[in-house]
Amino acid sequence: MRQTKLTKAARGRDCQIRLPGCPNNTETTVLAHYRLAGTCGTGMKPNDLQGAWGCSYCHDRVDGRVRCDLSREELRLYHAEAVFRTMAQVIQEGIVRL
């Protein structure tokens, strides 16, 4: 898989998803893509601009690989807010220019 500027920028970062119990393990942080109808599908990931820095703990839960006590709607809200926090950071650092 090709590494983009945004996927590379996720390495070593604080988790922005921040679910309850998040250990913020920066060694496992990756760009966790937010799935939104019309922007992804079978064999197609969303654009990297729809990604949030997430540790493996949070990423596994928002992607549904691990169950947790939060509803699907709550998980989606945590993830969406994380996308906004991540975007603010990459714009501030000049990784993404407007």
Question: What domain count does the chain have?
Answer: 1
In DSSP notation, 2-17 reads: PPPHHHHHTTTPPPSS
pLDDT in tens, 34-76: 987 666 667 767 788 899 999 999 999 999 999 999 999 999 9
Q: Are 38 and 52 in contact (CB under 8 A)?
A: no
Q: Are 74 and 25 in contact (CB under 8 A)?
A: no
Residue 43's pLDDT is 73
> Which residue is catalytic, options 10, 13, 33, 61?
33
Mean of the pLDDT values across residues 11-27? 97
Name the residue range of residue 78's domain. Answer: 5-92
Is 97 contained in some domain? no
Residue bearing tokens 């703990």:
57
Is 37 contained in some domain? yes
What CATH code is carried by the domain that includes residue 11? 3.30.50.20
Is 42 contained in some domain? yes
| Residue 11: both structure tokens together | 């390495």
pLDDT value at 2 more than 60? yes
Residue 84's pLDDT is 97
pLDDT value at 32 more than 90? yes
Residue 33 annotated to the active site: yes
Residue 72's pLDDT is 96
